[in-house]
Amino acid sequence: MTDNWNLLGHEWAVDMLRQHAARGDVRHAYLFCGPPGLGRRTLALRLAQALNCEKPIAAGVPCQTCRDCKQIENMQHPDLNVIEPAIIDPDDRKELIPALNGEIRIQQIRDLQKTFHLKPYQSKYRVALFLRFEKANDNSANALLKTLEEAPAHAILLLTADNPEQLLPTIVSRCEILRLRPLPIEAIEADLIERGLDTERARLLAHISGGRPGYARRMLEDETLLEKREERLNDLQTLLPAPRVEKFSYADKLSKDKETMRQAILIWLSYWRDVMLRVAGAETPLINIDRNMEIEFLAGRLDLSTARRVVGDLESALEQMDKNVNSKLLVEVLLLDWPKV
């Protein structure tokens, strides 16, 4: 896969970026969009390598073995700034700690602006990589506009986000947008088998990943991800017929940690989408293939409008979580609105 920057899939994106790097026709900003685990960060880092590789294999093709390539891969390069959501350190309020439930703050943008206009220390380009930029607050997003408008020729900004519609239109309009799509399940399965996984297990992880190679590999490396998924799906089965008091108790516990709550909702969403597809009679492959009998049973007892409503409620809940709503109330409403079967 050297010709594809050692990436699985996204050939069209690699080909376009390789041409940009080879011709020296690089944009000042790129926006990599798609669901987490799809390879947004990896693709962005490969572009940074292609721009700064000491010994490229060919024009626009990084070697991935030189000092610059290795430092970029590890996100430890002196000309690479990585900005990601963070929370304030409770022990030192002047410091920030990277956190999935954090936000990109204006101080992080200002810190970048202090050095971004300077010439690169070691390589050809300075690169700023913003991870999950949908987590930037309004002040941060507006502050970045100035950098986007006045970026020097030796500076490149790389942003990742779930969806460009989550960002300020003025930021999106100044970026080259790459909308990454999930890969075929068969491609993920073949990759996992090549990595030593047995066929049945590879098929399961490929389906659960939803075509996201990064997520599939994380599940391969970290078995607790599957254990947590199993726990949440078991919870779902228990909660469907549960009385209100049990649902209130569960909502109280789950809402205490926002990231745990988000992951639970994502798992439930994948399950209810499978149910909706089965109610609709769609031939789309299930994500939760190990729960096929449960899904068929549930689908046989619901109409399409009910299944759609549950899916819509879960999608809406994920959006509301980013708006500082009452987490406990949000989960309570979700669980109480689930159909009793």
Q: 57 with 195, same domain?
A: no
Domain containing residue 293: CATH number = 1.20.272
What residue numbers bound the domain in which 209 lies? 184-221
pLDDT digits (tens, 9 = 90+) for 59-89: 999 999 999 999 999 999 999 999 999 888 7
Distances (CA, A) of 266 to 87, 185, 278, 289, 336: 22, 19, 19, 16, 18
* 195, 221, 247 - which closes a domain: 221
Choose among 8, 11, 42, 17: nearest CA to 176. 17
Q: 158 with 12, same domain?
A: yes
* Start-to-end CA span in the chain (Å): 48
pLDDT tier at 146 (50, 70, 90 boundaries)? confident
* 198, 221, 244 - which closes a domain: 221
Q: pTM (2 decimals)?
A: 0.89
User: CA 172, 174, 180, 181 torsion: positive or negative?
Assistant: positive
Q: 190 with 167, same domain?
A: no
Residue 38 has pLDDT above 70, yes or no: yes
pLDDT tier at 330 (50, 70, 90 boundaries)? very high
pLDDT digits (tens, 9 = 90+) for 115-133: 898 999 999 999 999 999 9
Q: Is the CB of residue 254 less than 8 Å from the CB of residue 296?
A: no
In total, how many domains does the chain have? 3
Q: 217 with 230, same domain?
A: no
Q: 56 with 89, same domain?
A: yes
Percent of the chain with pLDDT over 70: 99
How large is the average pLDDT for residues 267-287? Answer: 95
